[in-house]
Amino acid sequence: MKVHILDDWFDTLRGLPCFDLLAGHDVTVWTDHQPDEAILADRLQDADCVVLFRERTKVTRGLLERLPNLRLISQRGAYPHVDVAACTDQGVLLCSNKGADGANHAAAELTFALILSAMRQLPQQMASVKAGNWQMGVGRSLRGRRLGIYGYGRIGRVVADYARAFGMEVIWWSSEAGRARAEADGETVAESRATFFGSCDVVSLHLRLTPETRGSVTAEDLSAMSPRAVLVNTSRAGLIAEGALLQALDAGHLGAAAVDVFDTEPLTDPNDPLLSHPKLIATPHIGFVTEDEFDKQFADIFAQVNAYAAGAPIHMINPSVYVP
């Protein structure tokens, strides 16, 4: 099969063990991001299969209509960036391993790195010493402080383990079903949503972005937080109501925010009011960006390509289009 891999910005996949799974296929790797649909369609004219790198490229009806040879899209996880109905209309099979085993430890590790960075003022202290000014302030220890985790899932539970190793108290908030699972597991669930946001030194978001969870964290939630509290988001920017985070930082409702995700990505405007805010610590959506996590995720993705080529596709999202 002619397989095109999009958005491998640092040409990482060729050097990982998982790439051997594509032996025997005609593979093209694109190392830049191409937002222009016409140029992208021209690049992919001969593709039988397109491999997506998370949500870096949107697959629209317009793009699919320009790709008459395309038969398969292989990716991993959720797919809000893919027009599934258009895939079905165009006879393109979408395969995505949504229920992959195990937590994303890379994302959990970055979450905790951001917690430490915010509480110990690491970016500011680094900038100060490099500028010849030595210390710039006094940070706060984690031991004895309260971490609130919104969303009772695999990544959140790993973050909770890290927090307990640092001597933090962990409490939870989630959907009604998520709270019930947490309580059944012996975890501490906040008495109310207001108590959750109002009593935590750090709140970390660990929800999937779905139509139901979009905007879950409101301006009212953020205004209930301590003016010294830290909000951490390594999940999706859309979990927070549009504009609410910047509003909370401007109003002094938060001591700091540490985020890995933005409404617009890639966000490359240094003058963006959120990105440039003095109370924001930011990373460029690197929660999953480690060699180890790439190898794990793309082993699944390439296995889907091989299963399709062998006439036994797996993890089909729109199976009605597949004709053996």
| Residues classed as catalytic | 236, 265, 285
Compute CA distances 145 → 12, 164, 199, 279, whole Å.
39, 10, 10, 20
User: pLDDT tens digits for 42-73?
Assistant: 999 999 999 999 899 999 999 999 999 999 99
User: pLDDT tens digits for 272-293?
Assistant: 999 999 999 999 999 999 999 9
Q: State yes or no: pLDDT of 98 exceeds 90.
A: no
Q: What is the pLDDT of residue 78?
A: 86
User: pLDDT tens digits for 27-38?
Assistant: 999 999 999 999
Q: State yes or no: pLDDT of 99 exceeds 70.
A: no
For 146, phi then psi, to 5°, come to: -105, 125
Q: Residue 182: helix, strand or coil by DSSP?
A: helix
Q: Stretch 305-322: mean pLDDT, rounded?
A: 97
Pairing mode, strands 146-150 and 93-97 = unpaired
Cβ–Cβ < 8 Å for 257, 279? yes
Q: State yes or no: pLDDT of 130 exceeds 90.
A: yes
Q: Stretch 92-110: mean pLDDT, rounded?
A: 89
pTM flag (> 0.95): no
Q: State yes or no: pLDDT of 102 exceeds 80.
A: no
The angle formed by the CA atoms of residues 174, 179 and 183, to the nearest 5 degrees, is: 145
